[in-house]
């Protein structure tokens, strides 16, 4: 117990120092955390617990998903629902296909691990971009597109990953189209149903109290219980927690006073608490990403292989954004070319991709290679894409140029 508490205090202390320093030098704190984590690992300093799929899925991912969903207002989401769903569903499928084909043709990967990697690396996590938006007080449609598309994209990527892995593990007994469709409906519908039930239960129970601490506790139970229950039942935990957050946000936190199921204190406390919880979760995950990236044995796979896979990941993201934007060109919610550039370059990879990679069974061909290259793509996207996003936004006119 003492060692665990010490690890937590060390992680939080480092995170706070990095956050303070990053703000002073106007650097996204997430990027600073990755860099510091890498430096600590190089110096052989123990930065805390091992980065495992269980740690990410059970402790890190639920608060990140819930906080992001809690902040999405349905009226804003509804206006851009067409591009958000188009990018997150069809874009994720396109990205997986492009990535898998590239791995097969360029690097001679077998189809099975290529599809698995294509599915997991399609999950985007623009935390560094959203943090930079907040630091610059940048709001509006583009911020909504980036965050909402990523949130639904995570759900689509997790579902695709589960389907592909199940198909591979079935071997000769792989399910047909009808059975696959039923499995897809079960995973998606089950996740949304559990999330809706958890969110509704928390809201209804909140009606019987005006105590904001009770309301806050109910939201915490709903966020984690929806994810864990869905995973236990082999449906989408991502979609469950996202649905819970959307329901509690739109029927509680952002509802007008007389229409809200939460007290005024409860709405304020919930918004502040989940922003804090997401900050803690991000602090832990980005420090551990940096520490793990620093000790990966990339030399076993060659710099050319890592560079090729990074280029393929960028190409796959481009395939998910630009062609589908053309299809939306005549719609009311059409996405402009500058917005497309931001969606493409801002499609960072993060916690979910790592969790899925680390959860792969040891028997999967190229399992170790997938884990290593996933860390490589995640590190590149956080550091290189994250650092170059502010100049890109200024070049495209979304942020004012510095004096």
Q: How far apart, in whole angstroms, are the C-alpha atoms of residue 113 and residue 365? A: 6
Q: Is residue 235 within 8 Å of residue 194, measured between CB atoms?
A: yes
Q: How far apart, in whole angstroms, are the C-alpha atoms of residue 98 and residue 128? A: 25
Question: Tokens representing 77?
Answer: 């989401």
Q: How far apart, in whole angstroms, are the C-alpha atoms of residue 384 and residue 403? A: 24
Q: How far apart, in whole angstroms, are the C-alpha atoms of residue 102 and residue 105? A: 5
Q: What is the pTM of this model?
A: 0.91
Question: Tokens representing 357?
Answer: 């990679």
Question: Tokens representing 217?
Answer: 């506790």
The predicted pLDDT at position 4 comes to 66
Distances (CA, A) of 368 to 265, 296, 297, 298: 49, 11, 10, 11
Question: Tokens representing 381?
Answer: 């996207």
The predicted pLDDT at position 179 comes to 81
Distances (CA, A) of 20 to 24, 26, 297: 7, 10, 32
Q: How far apart, in whole angstroms, are the C-alpha atoms of residue 234 and residue 178? A: 19
Q: Is residue 333 within 8 Å of residue 80, measured between CB atoms?
A: yes
* Residues whose CB falls within 8 Å of the CB of residue 358, separated by 6 or more in sequence, listed in order: 51, 52, 53, 56, 371
- DSSP code for 400: P
Angle between helices 264-295 and 212-232 (to 10 degrees): 50
Phi, psi of 130 (to 5 degrees): -65, -40
Q: How far apart, in whole angstroms, are the C-alpha atoms of residue 58 and residue 335? A: 35
The predicted pLDDT at position 115 comes to 96
Dihedral, CA of residue 147, residue 148, residue 152 and residue 153, to nearest 10: -40
pLDDT in tens, the chain (403 residues): 456 677 778 778 888 888 888 778 777 788 888 888 888 888 877 776 778 899 899 989 999 999 999 988 888 888 889 999 999 999 999 999 999 999 999 999 999 999 999 999 999 887 767 776 776 667 778 888 988 999 999 999 999 999 999 888 876 666 777 788 888 899 999 999 999 999 999 988 887 777 888 889 999 999 999 999 999 999 999 999 999 999 998 886 665 555 567 777 878 888 899 989 998 888 888 888 988 888 777 767 777 888 999 999 999 999 999 999 998 887 788 999 999 999 999 998 988 999 999 999 988 999 999 999 999 999 999 999 988 988 898 899 887 776 6
Q: How far apart, in whole angstroms, are the C-alpha atoms of residue 146 and residue 124? A: 10
Q: How far apart, in whole angstroms, are the C-alpha atoms of residue 204 and residue 122? A: 36
Q: Is residue 12 within 8 Å of residue 276, measured between CB atoms?
A: no
């Amino acid at each position: 117990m003492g060692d665990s508490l010490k690890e937590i205090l060390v992680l939080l202390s480092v995170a706070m120092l990095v956050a303070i320093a990053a703000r002073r030098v106007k650097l996204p704190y997430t990027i600073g955390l990755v860099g510091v984590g890498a430096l600590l690992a190089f110096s052989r300093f123990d930065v805390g617990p091992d980065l495992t799929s269980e740690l990410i899925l059970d402790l890190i991912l639920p608060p990140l998903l819930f906080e992001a969903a809690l902040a999405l207002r349905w009226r804003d989401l509804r206006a851009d629902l067409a591009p958000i769903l188009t990018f997150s569903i069809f874009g994720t499928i396109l990205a997986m296909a492009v990535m898998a084909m590239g791995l097969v043709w360029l690097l001679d990967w077998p189809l099975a691990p290529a599809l698995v990697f294509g599915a997991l690396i399609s999950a985007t996590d623009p935390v560094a971009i959203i943090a930079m938006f907040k630091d610059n007080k940048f709001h509006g449609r583009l911020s909504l597109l980036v965050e909402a598309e990523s949130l639904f994209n995570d759900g689509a990527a997790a579902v695709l990953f589960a389907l592909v892995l199940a198909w591979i593990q079935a071997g000769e007994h792989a399910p047909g189209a009808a059975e696959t469709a039923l499995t897809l409906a079960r995973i998606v519908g089950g996740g949304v149903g559990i999330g809706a039930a958890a969110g509704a239960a928390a809201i209804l129970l909140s009606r019987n109290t005006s105590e904001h601490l009770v309301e806050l506790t109910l939201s915490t139970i709903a966020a984690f219980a929806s994810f864990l229950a869905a995973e236990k039942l082999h449906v989408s935990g991502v979609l469950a927690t996202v649905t819970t957050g959307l329901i509690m946000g739109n029927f509680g936190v952002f509802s007008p006073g007389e229409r809200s199921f939460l007290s005024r204190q409860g709405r304020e406390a919930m918004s502040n608490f989940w922003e804090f919880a997401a900050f803690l979760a991000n602090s832990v995950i980005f420090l551990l990403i940096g520490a793990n990236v620093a000790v990966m044995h990339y030399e076993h796979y060659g710099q050319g292989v890592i560079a090729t896979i990074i280029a393929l990941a960028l190409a796959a993201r481009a395939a998910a954004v630009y062609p589908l934007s053309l299809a939306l060109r005549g719609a009311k919610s059409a996405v402009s070319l500058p917005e497309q550039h931001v969606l493409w370059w801002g499609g960072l990879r993060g916690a979910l991709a790592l969790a899925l990679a680390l959860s792969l069974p040891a028997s999967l061909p190229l399992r170790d290679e997938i884990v290593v290259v996933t860390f490589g793509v995640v590190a590149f996207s956080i550091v290189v894409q994250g650092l170059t996003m502010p100049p890109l936004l200024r070049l495209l006119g979304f942020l004012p140029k510095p004096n």
